[in-house]
Amino acid sequence: MSELILHIGTPKTGTTSLQNFFFDNREALVKRGVDYVQFTPQKRDVIARWRNGCFLSRYCRALHSEQPIGNQVSDYEENYQRLVNALKNNKRVLLSDENFFAFSTMACKGQIDPVKYWRGLARIIKELGVESTTLIIYLRRQDEWAVAMWKEAVKNGFSNKSIEDYINRPYIKCRLDYASNLDAIKEAFKDSGKVIVRSYNQVASSSTAIYHDFCESLDIAWDSDFKIPEGKRNESISFDMVEALRKCKYGGAGHASEEKRVRNMLAVTLSSKHKDPRGMTIFLPGEAKALMEQHLEGNRRIEKEYFDNQSLFSDEFIEGSPWHPNRLRIAGYRAAFICPKLLLKVILRQ
């Protein structure tokens, strides 16, 4: 029986770049016995076609929500059969979606138990007839991950909260507890799978290191056949832009929203012209260290179990330069969103 490889996240650890790499190199991967199979796009949402594990992560989430499956996942049966066929015809099948991790800590209507989520996913995979499952996950130092997630949530209109309030949301605190989440995954797949944990911080310094790291961790031979994707990353925004968007108080918009797409493009474009200097921090002195100390014991357990007691993250806390809002720039950003389509056209012509 084929091996099912699940790249499960976490969000903000190069997942978009990796998914584009898988998508652009489908033929090269097939030559190495790995099928990054493509599925029918979801009818309700415009989901990037390179996120091929989306239908399965959503189905598993739907099993833990109060809504009917049909309201959560469209074309599930068709995509399920495509996955069955792929497993029959290939030695290894690769699925990738960061929401495997994200959905394990939050359902549509509130929180769910990560243990139940992963057990449910394990049952679904067992029903596929899969005997061997490999789950691979990248972890980013908690203080850096929290800021990256906060920026992403504000950019997409899902939060207007301050960084302090955002980090203290129950499902975010749950996600920051990497050790407990890994325990839940390992317990659910103890009879049929293995878990590979990688440190995003150790590969983030190079634009291509994560591709080599992923292939190496799964014994996928690397050579010149692989193409490196360009210009398809999920770009971050500046702290000034975050503040402008928070003041605009945008609500969450659907994935198909043209307004949201234009707003995101504008936010990224403007931020690229005034990037945060390297080392700038939103945390007050001592706050990042205090956050990391909450997870020190769990991170040490991860190092012992998955890294042969080698370092998962750096323990250094070099206090960066604090962010001070540029009021004039923030006001300009807010004005830009009054007519974003027109301004974006002007900017892109420059």
What mean pLDDT comes out for the span 292-307? 97
**pLDDT reported for residue 13:** 96
What is the 3-state secondary structure of the chain?
Answer: CCEEEEECCCCCCCHHHHHHHHHHCHHHHHHCCEECCCCCCCCCCCCCCCCCCHHHHHHHHHHCCCCCHHHHCCCHHHHHHHHHHHHHHCCEEEEECCHHHHHCCCECCECCCHHHHHHHHHHHHHHCCCCEEEEEEEECCHHHHHHHHHHHHHHCCCCCCCHHHHHCCHHHHHHHCHHHHHHHHHHHCCCCEEEEEEEHHHCCCCCCHHHHHHHHHCCCCCCCCCCCCCCCCCCCCCHHHHHHHHHHCCCCCCCCCHHHHHHHHHHHHHHHHCCCCCCCECCCCCHHHHHHHHCHHHHHHHHHHHCCCCCCCCCCCCCCCECCCCHHHHHHHHHHCCCHHHHHHHHHHC
Kindly report the pTM of this predicted structure.
Answer: 0.91
pLDDT value at 108 more than 50: no
| Averaged pLDDT of the chain | 87
Distant-in-sequence, close-in-space partners of 97: CB < 8 Å, separation ≥ 6? 7, 8, 9, 51, 52, 53, 54, 56, 57
* Rounded-to-integer distance, Cα 4 and Cα 35, Å: 10
pLDDT digits (tens, 9 = 90+) for 174-192: 999 999 999 999 999 998 8
User: 136 pairs with which residues across the strands?
Assistant: 7, 196
pLDDT digits (tens, 9 = 90+) for 114-130: 888 899 999 999 998 89
End-to-end CA distance of the chain: 55
**In order of start, what are the domains of the chain with their CATH numbers?**
3-217 (3.40.50), 239-349 (no CATH)
**pLDDT reported for residue 42:** 54
* Rounded-to-integer distance, Cα 196 and Cα 307, Å: 10
* Rounded-to-integer distance, Cα 23 and Cα 279, Å: 33
pLDDT digits (tens, 9 = 90+) for 80-100: 889 999 999 999 999 999 999
What angle, rounded to 10 degrees, do the helices at 287-294 and 296-306 form? 60
